[in-house]
């Protein structure tokens, strides 16, 4: 009857077993490279479907109560099992049997309280065992006895009251034993002698309540190199006891931070005389009095930490004997206000004279009264930090650092000292100095360049965050070795001086001029800085320099920076970029143009930025992202930031960008939340990536089609217009060309081959003018004109005669008047023959003489002639003024004399 079962019930019964299977066996562990991470999954059971070949299994932060050995047999390759942060209260010895290769077992933050002799009996390969933060209060017998390979054992944060972890020698390979934060109150020889064969690099006993070091307690340990007793209230007397117990041990590193060691004397560290102690940490001790010769017993000390104390003063013998110290930290070591000793210097002269090996000295955050002759004798000092060290070091004079004259100082940090003036030669003692940090002070002055006198090897100068700096051409003239110069937020003045203040710095690689509100610079500012790699110009006011309308054109201040890698131009108000602004920057990797007002970028502005890795244009007014502009810049980009621009989501503006985003590996963060369409209205507020580019792709062939038809139409219209207005010219020259090509060679007869110099065509009514003027021209010529009325029988004008005469004339002269235009014979016959001859022979052979003004269209209409057909010297106008008649004759002679050829 299953057919009658309602469908949903049917499917419930079918799917139930799968559902059970699903909940029992699937897990959300991530497995990568044989490492399974099952942390933070609220697991109550060990996942049983992980690959059998995993070597690391992370089960931290779950709800496991047990680690049943059987459930691990499938993971026999495990070398690391992390079961931290669960509620495991019992461990079965067979676990290690299931995991024979286990090297690291972490069970921190669980509820283990009992460890028996058997617990780790099979864990022979264990190297690290972490049992921190359990509830182990007592170790009975020898649970760790079989851990012959154990290197690190962490039992901190338990309730142990004793260091005793066994009754017999064991843990011979142990290097680190961590017992911090227990309840150990005494170190006793017999409670440590299970370590008799061990060499401990680190015995961590911090944060216990140790009040007793019984005789020989440290000698019970095979070898002890490092001991930490931080946060144990030892006080001076117990410290002295401790040191006596440490005498003749191998101790090298001793941490005694925050042990209430408020004073030291010449006996405190006496016990360490016979040791090789190389590191001593006495920080956070409220140490106020350092007795003379306190450290005289520590000739091997190299690293000495004294930060965060309350030292009232250093006398000339306070540091006596520390001849090997390389590193000394005195950060916030001295009292802020010493009332009783206000008049005395906190550091006596020559206090540091014993530190012949000191290379690094940190004196930050102290409150010294001012310049002192303090540092004499530090003949190896390389790095000195005096940041926030002085309460009243207003002016750096040529004597402030005189005590450092013998130090090969490389780094000097003077930040946060309220320095207001650097005098000439202040650093002249520091010829080795490479790095000088003067940032975060109150310097306000003109930099003449003398401030840097003597800094022959300087490489980095930090001047950022000061009151104001007025630059001059010579500001950096004495430090041409400079490679990094930081001038952020220093209210730079006189930036447009010429030559530029930076002109001597041809090795400069980093220049920070940001946050200066710079508005006026010239194109010389960065000239010659060919090695510059990083240029920071953000938060200035450079917009005007790139405006088209800037008087003298845009200022190309980036010209020639051919090795620039990083350029920051954020927040400058730019609304225009000249097309060639970045032309020289072919190695640019990163450019930041964010927070400007850029809308339309010129095409090819990024053409030379083909190796760009990072481009920021966030918070501009960019509407369209086109290939012509961004194509080159996007090629190798790994990071793009164009958030918060008002994108115009049309095919035209954005289609290319959207399909580029779809195919690129470039990192574009917040793509779906901060790249939104602004226009058109129907897309407003929509993420750009949701823009559908498919209609745009269809329009591409259409666009092409449109372009082709449109241009064909235009060409057609052009041809029509051309034929309409210039058709006569075309057909005329076509005729000429055809005749030439078909072999009507130019007939360049010699003058003697012609009978007449010219055949004159005129209207009958103009014969008076012709008769009056033609003979004048003939006078000095051997050839005569052919005049119809004179040279033909009167009234017997035979057409054949006309044709022959025209042929026998070298030139044909038209005397053009209104009458000629109306003369029927002229109109048809003569003009036709004349033009025919002209075409066959040459265009020069026709001369037009206008006796009156005739517009070209009338001429064309009546005679089918146009001025444009003839050379200009063949077109003559009969002058109205008498005095020009001579000139007319001259011109006519020229026209008659010209050869019949086209030159
Ligand atoms: C161990 O495996 C058994 C059988 O596969 C299972 O019933 C049990 O819940 C598992 N225990 C743990 C803690 O995962
Ligand atoms: C571990 O097992 C997985 C499948 O369970 C396999 O893909 C992987 O290659 C194996 N790794 C090694 C090192 O054998
Ligand atoms: C296990 O995961 C936790 C939290 O994700 C992490 O802190 C711990 O280092 C991991 N353990 C190992 C052995 O990788
Ligand atoms: C320690 O200093 C005292 C004087 O303060 C002196 O009498 C004593 O000899 C010094 N002890 C050592 C070991 O130098
Ligand atoms: C420091 O400069 C002053 C003049 O300003 C000069 O008299 C003095 O000799 C200079 N001191 C040194 C050590 O150069
Ligand atoms: C100078 O010291 C300050 C404060 O410690 C630090 O922030 C700065 O980086 C240091 N300057 C240099 C150049 O190391
Ligand atoms: C500039 O750098 C070059 C090459 O590193 C070096 O040889 C030259 O000495 C430097 N110039 C100055 C003035 O330090
Ligand atoms: C993105 O690319 C995939 C395949 O590469 C394609 O199927 C999809 O249509 C593309 N989406 C857009 C908006 O171009």
Q: Whose CA is nearest to atom 3 of ligand 2?
A: 51
**Best residue among 404, 423, 425, 453 to mutate for probing ligand 5, ranked by most atoms within 8 Å of CB:** 425
**Best residue among 33, 51, 52, 101 to mutate for probing ligand 2, ranked by most atoms within 8 Å of CB:** 51
Structure tokens given for 766: 């103009």
**Best residue among 654, 657, 662 to mutate for probing ligand 8, ranked by most atoms within 8 Å of CB:** 662
Tell whether ligand 5 has an atom less than 6 A from the beta carbon of residue 405.
no
Q: Whose CA is nearest to atom 3 of ligand 1?
A: 71
Structure tokens given for 644: 């918060």
* Alpha-carbon dihedral sign for residues 570, 573, 577, 582: negative
Tell whether ligand 4 has an atom less than 6 A from the beta carbon of residue 353.
no
846 burial class (0-12, 13-18, 19+ CB within 10 angstroms)? Answer: buried
How many A from CA of 413 to the centre of ligand 6? 6
Strands, E assignment, 688-781: 756-761
Tell whether ligand 3 has an atom less than 6 A from the beta carbon of residue 60.
yes
* Alpha-carbon dihedral sign for residues 181, 182, 186, 191: negative
CB 354 within 8 Å of CB 320 = yes
Structure tokens given for 487: 């001038």
CA nearest to 246, candidates 270, 266, 263: 270
**Best residue among 35, 38, 60, 62 to mutate for probing ligand 3, ranked by most atoms within 8 Å of CB:** 60
Residue pointed to by tokens 């060639």 = 580
Q: Which atom of ligand 7 is nearest to the CA of 507?
A: 1
Its pTM surpasses 0.75 = no
Q: Which atom of ligand 5 is nearest to the CA of 398?
A: 1
* Alpha-carbon dihedral sign for residues 836, 840, 843, 849: negative
Structure tokens given for 895: 């026209």
Q: Which atom of ligand 3 is nearest to the CA of 56?
A: 13
Q: Which ligand is nearest to the CA of 264?
A: 4
Structure tokens given for 568: 């920051």
**Cα dist from 663 to 564, 634, 657, 669, 689, whole Å:** 29, 12, 10, 15, 12
Q: Whose CA is nearest to atom 9 of ligand 1?
A: 45
Euclidean distance between CA atoms 319 and 354, whole angstroms: 7
Three-class SS of residue 35? strand
Helix/strand/coil (H/E/C) assignment for every residue in 250-311: CCCEEECCCCCCCEECCCCCHHHHHCCCCEEECCCCCCCEECCCCCCCCCCCCEEECCCCCE
Q: Whose CA is nearest to atom 14 of ligand 6?
A: 413
Euclidean distance between CA atoms 287 and 309, whole angstroms: 5
Q: Give the model confidence (pLDDT) of 579-633 as tens digits.
A: 999 999 999 999 999 999 999 999 989 999 989 999 999 999 999 999 999 999 9
pLDDT at 796: 52
Tell whether ligand 7 has an atom less than 6 A from the beta carbon of residue 687.
no
Radius of gyration of the chain (CA): 51
Tell whether ligand 2 has an atom less than 6 A from the beta carbon of residue 49.
no
Tell whether ligand 4 has an atom less than 6 A from the beta carbon of residue 273.
no
Q: Whose CA is nearest to atom 13 of ligand 3?
A: 82
Point out the residues of the chain with pLDDT beneath 70.
Answer: 1-27, 337-345, 370-373, 698-706, 727-729, 732, 736, 738-753, 775-783, 789-799, 825-829, 838-843, 898-903
Q: Which atom of ligand 7 is nearest to the CA of 506?
A: 1
Q: Which ligand is nearest to the CA of 65?
A: 1
pLDDT at 802: 73
Q: Which atom of ligand 2 is nearest to the CA of 53?
A: 1
Euclidean distance between CA atoms 200 and 283, whole angstroms: 23
pLDDT at 707: 74
Tell whether ligand 4 has an atom less than 6 A from the beta carbon of residue 481.
no
**Best residue among 507, 528, 533 to mutate for probing ligand 7, ranked by most atoms within 8 Å of CB:** 507
Tell whether ligand 8 has an atom less than 6 A from the beta carbon of residue 694.
no
Buried b (16+ CB within 10 A) or exposed e, 291-300: eebbbbbbeb
Is-cis flag, bond preceding 499, omega within 30? Answer: yes
Q: Give the model confidence (pLDDT) of 214-263 as tens digits.
A: 999 999 999 999 999 999 999 999 999 999 999 999 999 999 999 999 99
How many A from CA of 46 to the centre of ligand 1? 7
Euclidean distance between CA atoms 166 and 194, whole angstroms: 6
Q: Whose CA is nearest to atom 14 of ligand 3?
A: 58
How many A from CA of 94 to the centre of ligand 1? 15
How many A from CA of 503 to the centre of ligand 5? 29
Q: Which atom of ligand 2 is nearest to the CA of 51?
A: 5
How many A from CA of 25 to the centre of ligand 2? 19
pLDDT at 511: 97
Q: Whose CA is nearest to atom 2 of ligand 4?
A: 266
How many A from CA of 481 to the centre of ligand 7? 6
pLDDT at 742: 64
Q: Which atom of ligand 4 is nearest to the CA of 296?
A: 14
How many A from CA of 266 to the centre of ligand 4? 6
pLDDT at 694: 85
Could you give the domains of the chain?
A: 756-896 (3.40.50.10140)
Ligand 1 shell residues, CB under 6 Å: 45-46, 48, 66, 68, 71
pLDDT at 344: 56
621 burial class (0-12, 13-18, 19+ CB within 10 angstroms)? Answer: middle
Report the DSSP pairing between strands 395-396 and 176-178. Answer: unpaired
Helix (H) or strand (E) holding 395: strand 395-396
CB 522 within 8 Å of CB 551 = no
**Best residue among 458, 460, 481, 505 to mutate for probing ligand 7, ranked by most atoms within 8 Å of CB:** 481
Residue pointed to by tokens 């002759």 = 373
Orientation angle between helical segments 651-663 and 627-634, nearest 10 degrees: 20
Q: Whose CA is nearest to atom 4 of ligand 4?
A: 266
How many A from CA of 426 to the centre of ligand 5? 10
CB 158 within 8 Å of CB 183 = no
Q: Which ligand is nearest to the CA of 30?
A: 3
**Best residue among 55, 58, 85 to mutate for probing ligand 3, ranked by most atoms within 8 Å of CB:** 58
């Amino acid at each position: 009857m299953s057919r009658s079962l309602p469908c949903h019930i049917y499917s419930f019964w079918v799917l139930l077993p799968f559902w059970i299977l699903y909940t029992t066996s699937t897990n959300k562990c991530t497995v990568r490279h044989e490492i399974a991470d099952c942390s933070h999954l609220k697991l109550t059971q060990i996942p049983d479907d992980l690959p059998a070949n995993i070597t690391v299994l992370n089960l931290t932060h779950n709800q496991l109560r047990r680690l049943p050995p059987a459930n691990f047999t499938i993971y026999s390759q495990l070398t690391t099992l992390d079961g931290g942060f669960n509620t495991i209260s019992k461990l079965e010895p067979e676990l290690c049997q299931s995991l024979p290769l286990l090297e690291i077992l972490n069970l921190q933050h669980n509820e283990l309280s009992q460890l028996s002799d058997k617990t780790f009996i099979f864990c022979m390969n264990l190297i690290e065992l972490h049992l921190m933060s359990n509830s182990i209060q007592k170790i009975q017998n020898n649970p760790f006895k079989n851990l012959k390979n154990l290197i690190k054992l962490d039992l901190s944060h338990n309730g142990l009251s004793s260091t005793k972890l066994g009754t017999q020698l064991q843990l011979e390979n142990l290097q680190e034993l961590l017992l911090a934060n227990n309840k150990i109150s005494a170190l006793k020889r017999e409670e440590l002698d299970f370590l008799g064969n061990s060499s401990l690099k680190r015995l961590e006993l911090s944060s216990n309540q140790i009040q007793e070091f019984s005789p020989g307690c440290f000698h019970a340990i095979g070898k002890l190199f490092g001991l930490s007793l931080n946060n144990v209230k030892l006080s001076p007397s117990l410290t002295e006891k401790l040191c006596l117990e440490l005498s003749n041990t191998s101790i090298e590193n001793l941490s005694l931070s925050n042990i209430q060691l408020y004073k030291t004397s010449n006996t405190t560290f006496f016990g360490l005389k016979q040791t090789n102690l190389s590191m001593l940490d006495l920080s956070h001790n409220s140490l106020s009095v350092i007795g003379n010769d306190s450290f005289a017993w520590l000739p091997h000390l190299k690293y000495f930490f004294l930060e965060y104390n309350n030292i009232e003063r250093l006398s000339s013998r306070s540091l006596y004997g520390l001849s090997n110290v390389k590193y000394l930290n005195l950060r916030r070591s001295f009292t802020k206000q010493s009332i009783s000793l206000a008049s005395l210097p906190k550091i006596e002269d020559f206090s540091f004279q014993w530190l012949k090996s000191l290379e690094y000295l940190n004196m930050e955050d102290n409150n010294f009264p001012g310049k002192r002759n303090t540092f004499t004798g530090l003949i190896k000092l390389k790095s000195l930090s005096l940041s926030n060290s002085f309460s009243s070091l207003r002016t750096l004079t040529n004597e402030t650092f005189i005590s450092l004259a013998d130090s090969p100082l490389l780094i000097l940090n003077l930040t946060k000292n309220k320095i207001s003036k650097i005098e000439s030669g202040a650093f002249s003692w520091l010829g080795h100095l490479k790095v000088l940090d003067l940032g975060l002070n109150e310097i306000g002055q003109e930099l003449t360049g003398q401030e840097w006198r003597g800094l022959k090897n300087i490489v980095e100068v930090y001047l950022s965050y000061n009151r104001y700096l007025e630059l001059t051409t010579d500001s950096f003239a004495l430090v041409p070795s400079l490679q990094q110069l930081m001038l952020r937020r220093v209210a730079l003045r006189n930036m447009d001086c010429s030559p530029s203040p930076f002109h001597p710095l041809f090795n400069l690689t980093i220049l920070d001029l940001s946050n200066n509100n710079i508005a006026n610079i010239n194109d010389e500012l960065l000239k010659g800085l060919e090695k510059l790699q990083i240029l920071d110009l953000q938060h200035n006011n450079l917009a005007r320099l790139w405006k088209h309308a800037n008087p003298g054109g845009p200022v190309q201040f980036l010209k020639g920076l051919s090795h620039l890698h990083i350029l920051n131009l954020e927040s400058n108000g730019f609304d225009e970029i000249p097309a060639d602004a970045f032309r020289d920057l072919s190695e640019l990797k990163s450019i930041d143009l964010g927070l400007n007002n850029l809308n339309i970028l010129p095409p090819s502005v990024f053409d030379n930025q083909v190796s760009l890795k990072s481009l920021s244009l966030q918070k501009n007014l960019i509407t369209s992202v086109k290939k012509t502009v961004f194509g080159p810049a996007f090629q190798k980009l790994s990071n793009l930031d164009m958030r918060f621009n008002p994108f115009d989501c049309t095919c035209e503006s954005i289609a290319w960008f959207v399909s580029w985003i779809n195919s690129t590996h470039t990192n574009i963060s917040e793509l779906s939340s901060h790249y939104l369409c602004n226009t058109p209205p129907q897309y407003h507020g929509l993420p750009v990536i949701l823009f559908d580019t498919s209609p745009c792709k269809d329009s591409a062939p259409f666009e092409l089609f449109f372009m082709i038809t449109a241009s064909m139409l235009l060409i057609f219209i052009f041809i029509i217009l051309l034929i309409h207005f210039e058709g006569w010219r075309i057909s005329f020259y076509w005729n000429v060309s055809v005749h030439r090509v078909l072999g009507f060679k130019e007939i360049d007869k010699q003058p003697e081959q012609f009978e007449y110099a010219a055949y004159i065509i005129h209207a009958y009514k103009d014969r008076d003018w012709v008769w009056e003027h033609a003979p004048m021209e003939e006078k000095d010529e051997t050839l005569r004109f052919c005049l119809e009325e004179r040279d033909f029988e009167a009234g017997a004008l035979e057409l054949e005669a006309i044709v022959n005469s025209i042929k026998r004339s070298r030139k044909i002269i038209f005397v053009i008047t209104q009458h000629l235009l109306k003369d029927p014979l002229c109109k048809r016959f003569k003009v036709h023959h004349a033009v025919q001859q002209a075409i066959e022979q040459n265009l020069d052979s026709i001369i037009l003489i206008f006796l009156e003004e005739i517009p070209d269209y009338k001429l064309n209409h009546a005679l089918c002639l146009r001025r444009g057909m003839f050379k200009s010297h063949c077109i003559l106008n009969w002058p109205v003024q008498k005095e020009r008649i001579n000139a007319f004759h001259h011109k006519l002679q020229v026209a008659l004399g010209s050869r019949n050829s086209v030159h």
